[in-house]
A and B are shown apart, each in its own frame.
Chain A
Amino acid sequence: MQNALNEPQTIVLLGGTSEIGRAIVDELISSTTQTVILACHHPDGAQPERFAREGLDVVVEYFDAADTESHDGFVRDLAKAHGDIDVAVVAFGVLGSQAEFDADPHAAAQAVHINYTGAVSASLAIAGQMRRQGHGQIAVLSSVAGERGRASNFVYGSSKAGLDTFAQGLGDALADSGVRVTVIRPGFVHSRMTQGLKSAPFATTPRVVAELAVAGMRKGRHTVWTPGILRYVFMVLRHVPRPVFRRLPLG
Chain B
Amino acid sequence: MAMPSHPHYGVGILQPVAPVDPVPSGRRTLLAGWGRATPSSADLVDVTPDTLAAAVKDLPRRGGIARGLGRSYGDPAQNSGGHVLRLVPENERIVIDDRTCTVTTGAGVSIDDLLAIIVPRGYFVPVTPGTRFVTIGGAIASDIHGKNHHADGSFGDHVSSLRLMLADTTVVDIAPDRDPELFWATIGGMGLTGVIVDATFRLIPIETSRMSVETRRIGHLDEIMARMSESDATVRYSVAWIDLLATGRHLGRGVLTNAEHATADQLGPREAVDQLAYAGKQLVAVPPVVPAPGLINRLSVGAFNEVWYRKAPVVREGELQSIPTYFHPLDLVGAWNRVYGRNGLLQYQFVVPFGAEGVLRTVIERISASALPIFLTVLKRFGAGNPGHLSFPLGGWTLAIDVAANRAGLSELLRHLDALVLDAGGRHYLAKDFQTSPAAIRRGYPRLDEWLAIRGRVDPAGVWSSDLSRRLGLTPTTN
Contact = CB atoms under 8 A, between A and B. Distances in A.
B437 A32 contact: yes
B39 A3 contact: no
B40 A134 contact: yes
A31 B415 contact: yes
Contacts, number: 88
B470 A177 contact: no
A178 B43 CA distance: 12
A244 interface: no
A135 B41 contact: yes
A4 B75 CA distance: 9
A83 B479 contact: yes
Interface in A1-42: 1-7, 9, 30-32
A84 interface: yes
A79 B479 contact: yes
A198 interface: no
A2 B38 contact: yes
B82 interface: yes
A153 interface: no
A4 B35 contact: yes
B3 interface: no
Given A134-B80, A178-B80, A5 B411 contact: yes
Contact of B471 (A3, A30, A31, A218): A3
A50 interface: no
Contact of A80 (B344, B346, B471, B479): B479
Interface in A109-149: 129, 132-135
A176 interface: yes
B435 interface: yes
Nearest to A179: B41
A178 B477 contact: no
A146 B408 CA distance: 31
A135 B344 contact: no
A120 B406 CA distance: 31
A220 interface: yes
A29 to B, nearest CB: 11
A220 B343 contact: yes
Given A4-B35, A4-B405, A220-B343, A135 B40 contact: yes
A176 B38 CA distance: 12
Count chain A CB atoms within 10 A of each CB in B39, B342, B405, B411 and give the residue with the most: B411
B81 A133 contact: yes
Interface residues of B, number: 35
Nearest to A10: B477
Contacts of A31: 415, 437
B37 to A, nearest CB: 4
B80 A218 contact: no
A176 B30 contact: yes
Interface in B274-331: none
A4 B41 contact: no
A132 B344 CA distance: 24
Interface in B5-43: 28, 30, 35, 37-42
A219 interface: yes
Interface string B47-62: 0000000000000001
B415 to A, nearest CB: 6
A133 B411 CA distance: 25
A176 B41 contact: yes
Given A3-B435, A30-B411, A32-B437, A178 B30 contact: yes
A6 B82 CA distance: 21
B30 A1 contact: no
Contacts of B143: none
Contact of B410 (A5, A84, A133): A5
A76 B479 CA distance: 8
A132 B81 CA distance: 5
Contacts of A30: 411
Contacts of A84: 80, 470, 477, 479
Given A2-B38, A83-B479, A134-B81, A7 B411 contact: yes
Interface string A83-124: 110000000000000000000000000000000000000000
Contacts of B471: 1, 3, 9
A151 to B, nearest CB: 40
B369 to A, nearest CB: 20
A95 B28 CA distance: 40
Given A134-B80, A134-B81, A1 B467 contact: yes
B81 A220 contact: no
B445 interface: no
Nearest to B81: A134
A176 B42 CA distance: 11
Nearest to A3: B435
Contacts of B28: 134, 177
Contacts of A129: 479
A53 to B, nearest CB: 14
B135 to A, nearest CB: 22
Contacts of A80: 479
A9 B406 CA distance: 18
Contacts of A177: 28, 30, 41
Nearest to A76: B479
B219 interface: no
Contacts of A178: 30, 39-41, 80
Interface string B70-83: 00001100011110
Nearest to A174: B41
B38 A133 contact: no
Contacts of A2: 38
A219 B294 CA distance: 12
Contacts of A7: 411, 435
Contact of A1 (B346, B410, B470): B470
Contacts of B80: 1, 84, 133-135, 178
B241 interface: no
Contact of A133 (B35, B62, B74, B435): B62
29 contacts: A1-B80, A1-B467, A3-B435, A3-B436, A3-B471, A4-B35, A5-B346, A6-B38, A7-B411, A31-B415, A32-B437, A76-B479, A79-B479, A83-B479, A84-B80, A84-B470, A132-B81, A132-B479, A133-B81, A134-B28, A134-B42, A134-B80, A135-B80, A176-B30, A177-B30, A178-B30, A218-B343, A218-B406, A220-B343
Q: Nearest 5 CB-CB pairs, A to B? A: A134-B80, A134-B81, A1-B471, A4-B434, A135-B40
Interface of A: 1-7, 9, 30-32, 55, 76, 79-80, 83-84, 129, 132-135, 176-178, 218-220
Given A4-B405, A5-B435, A83-B479, 4 more contacts: A134-B82, A176-B41, A178-B39, A218-B343
